Amino acid sequence: MRLTRFFLPILKETPKEAEIVSHRMMLRAGMVRQQSAGIYSWLPLGLRVLRKIERIVEEEQARAGAVQLLMPTIQSADLWRESGRYDAYGKEMLRITDRHDRDMLYGPTNEEMITDIFRGYVRSYKDLPLNLYHIQWKFRDEVRPRFGVMRGREFLMKDGYSFDVDKEAARHAYNRMFVSYLRTFARMGLKAVPMKADTGPIGGDMSHEFIILAETGESEVFLDKAILGLEIPSQDTDFFSDLTPIVDAWTAPYAATDEMHDAAAFEALGPDQRVSARGIEVGHIFYFGTKYSEAMGAKVATADAGDVPVHMGSYGIGVSRLLGALIEANHDAEGIIWPAAVAPFHVGLVNLKSGDEETDKACEDLYDRLTAAGVEVLYDDTDNRAGAKFATMDLIGLPYQLVAGPRGLKNGVVEVKTRATGEKEELSPDAAVNKLL
Ligand code: ATP
Ligand code: MG
Ligand code: MG
Ligand code: MG
């Protein structure tokens, strides 16, 4: 992508309304634009990151046996009347009336709709287990939308739902998502800690929030340092084998949010083991049994016990919130430092003297070679000052900067800068291309 043909509206001023670094940087780097409180347009640079995150989620969901579909954003209130949540949900729900005076709503979540889909088609335990998910915009009329995309009103969520014949099978479904979430966040370069979460009236131990430690997080969290050193399950994990040992290892060390905090258990840890910190909830997995299947008549025939309501769980990931969380975890004074897996481009190519025949030619050649090899390059071919080009590259945080100017080229070299370390290397153009492949 050539910067002269891209749309990257960099802001020079730091927007006053942004309280935290990720929000400031997303606005300054031209990733999002606020359209009204908690509602954002995704500008091209931001959208590229959002799509990268989605791809990782999709790959890891597929690995764990979940199947993607797509449900609408607008739902009928009738479904929610069946579950009893239409009145219970309160002011976070955006309620809409259509021209025929029918009550509609912009979905804040999809338990009712997925249960309706399930009951429309599935009759037998032989069709289970089943896990269906989508990645779709949600609307929650949050009392206090803030921190940019971290607490939006319209936000992108991956939400999945599992269906099983009994609690034991549902536990296995839960474990698959537990392991899948560990892998999903790790692939984005994030350390997400599963923490015991509230199960409400369902009870039991099958609710975990996945939390990124960050000072600006809205939750207060308490954990045993040991959990930070555990190994992420490998990509060869057989999701249909017994995952209990992995889940047991990850749930043995103490880790809880303030809602579930057990001060005595935490204090019993050694002083060097105790970590109390703040965190950002990026995912939440939850077994809720037959709450919706019973209310909405989603039953399957069993081999020997007649028809039973199906056991369900739900599994959410805050896809758009993750952009904020990623920046909170990866930045310096100059700007964002994207982990390679989610970076909007891999390389920023900086032409130090656009218009200089030799430099233009060298840059075009580097651009063509990298692009042909499938490397995503953002080529700054504008005639801005070198200083401004460097500042933009540091701000938008691509993993590598490839810099070519007349002086270096005379000596047969270009410069490769690694954004994360600031390390700079002078290399021949060939060696630079090889390094960036
Ligand atoms: P929170 O405690 O932050 O309000 P939640 O517990 O209400 O989140 P869930 O219903 O568990 O959210 O939804 C699944 C995921 O969706 C959350 O773990 C979070 O990452 C994301 N999410 C929830 N609300 C928002 C929001 N207002 N803006 C952006 N992401 C959100
Ligand atoms: Mg909430
Ligand atoms: Mg929460
Ligand atoms: Mg939650």
pLDDT in the model for residue 15: 85
User: Alpha carbon of 114 to those of 14, 203, 317: distances in Å?
Assistant: 43, 23, 17
Distance (Å) from CA 160 to ligand 1 centroid: 14
What's the whole-number mean pLDDT along residues 54-62?
98
- Please say if the pLDDT value at position 234 is more than 90: yes
DSSP designation for 369: H
User: Alpha carbon of 321 to those of 4, 38, 254, 415: distances in Å?
Assistant: 30, 12, 25, 35
> pLDDT tens-digit profile of 312-348?
999 999 999 999 999 999 999 999 999 999 999 999 9
Distance (Å) from CA 196 to ligand 2 centroid: 17
What's the whole-number mean pLDDT along residues 250-263?
96
Residue located nearest, by CA, to atom 2 of ligand 1: 281
Q: Is 46 in the pocket of ligand 1 (CB under 6 A)?
A: no
pLDDT in the model for residue 204: 84
pLDDT in the model for residue 201: 82
The string of DSSP codes covering 127-170 is G-SEEEEEEEEEE---SS-BTGGGB-SEEEEEEEEEEESSHHHH
Alpha helices in 333-379 (DSSP H): 357-372
> pLDDT tens-digit profile of 111-139?
999 999 999 999 999 999 999 999 999 99
| Cβ–Cβ < 8 Å for 37, 153 | yes
| Cβ–Cβ < 8 Å for 139, 133 | no
Angstrom distance (rounded) from CA 240 to CA 174: 12
pLDDT in the model for residue 17: 85
- Please say if the pLDDT value at position 141 is more than 90: yes
| Cβ–Cβ < 8 Å for 108, 79 | no
Q: Mean pLDDT across the chain, nearest whole number?
A: 97
- Please say if the pLDDT value at position 365 is more than 90: yes
| Cβ–Cβ < 8 Å for 5, 121 | no
Q: Is 147 in the pocket of ligand 1 (CB under 6 A)?
A: no
Q: Which residue has the higher pLDDT, 198 or 138?
A: 138
Residue located nearest, by CA, to atom 31 of ligand 1: 318
- Please say if the pLDDT value at position 16 is more than 90: no
| pLDDT band for position 199 (cuts 50, 70, 90) | confident
Distance (Å) from CA 129 to ligand 2 centroid: 29
Q: Is 152 in the pocket of ligand 1 (CB under 6 A)?
A: yes
Instruction: State the Cα torsion 209-134-137-90 to the nearest 10°.
Output: -60
Q: How many beta carbons lie within 10 A of that of residue 259, not counting itself?
A: 12
Mutational test site, ligand 1, from 93, 281, 320, max ligand atoms within 8 Å of CB: 281
Tell me the backbone φ, ψ of residue 431, rounded to 5 degrees: -65, -35
Q: Is 138 in the pocket of ligand 1 (CB under 6 A)?
A: no
| pLDDT band for position 202 (cuts 50, 70, 90) | confident
Angstrom distance (rounded) from CA 320 to CA 51: 10
Distance (Å) from CA 71 to ligand 2 centroid: 21
What's the whole-number mean pLDDT along residues 16-41?
96
What's the whole-number mean pLDDT along residues 155-173?
98
Residue located nearest, by CA, to atom 26 of ligand 1: 151
Q: Is 281 in the pocket of ligand 1 (CB under 6 A)?
A: yes
Structural tokens at position 19: 């309280």
Relative to the alpha carbon of 318, which ligand is closest?
1
Which residue type, as a one-letter code, is found at position 22? S
What's the whole-number mean pLDDT along residues 164-185?
98
- Please say if the pLDDT value at position 299 is more than 90: yes
Structural tokens at position 388: 């401004």
Write down the ipTM of this complex: 0.99
Q: How many beta carbons lie within 10 A of that of residue 277, not counting itself?
A: 15
Tell me the backbone φ, ψ of residue 415, rounded to 5 degrees: -115, 140
- Please say if the pLDDT value at position 391 is more than 90: yes
Angstrom distance (rounded) from CA 393 to CA 408: 19
Structural tokens at position 16: 């006053």
| Cβ–Cβ < 8 Å for 223, 254 | yes
Tell me the backbone φ, ψ of residue 243, rounded to 5 degrees: -95, 0
**Model's pTM, two decimal places?**
0.97
Angstrom distance (rounded) from CA 173 to CA 161: 10
Tell me the backbone φ, ψ of residue 284, rounded to 5 degrees: -150, 125
Angstrom distance (rounded) from CA 300 to CA 315: 22
- Please say if the pLDDT value at position 78 is more than 90: yes
Distance (Å) from CA 207 to ligand 4 centroid: 9
Distance (Å) from CA 169 to ligand 2 centroid: 28
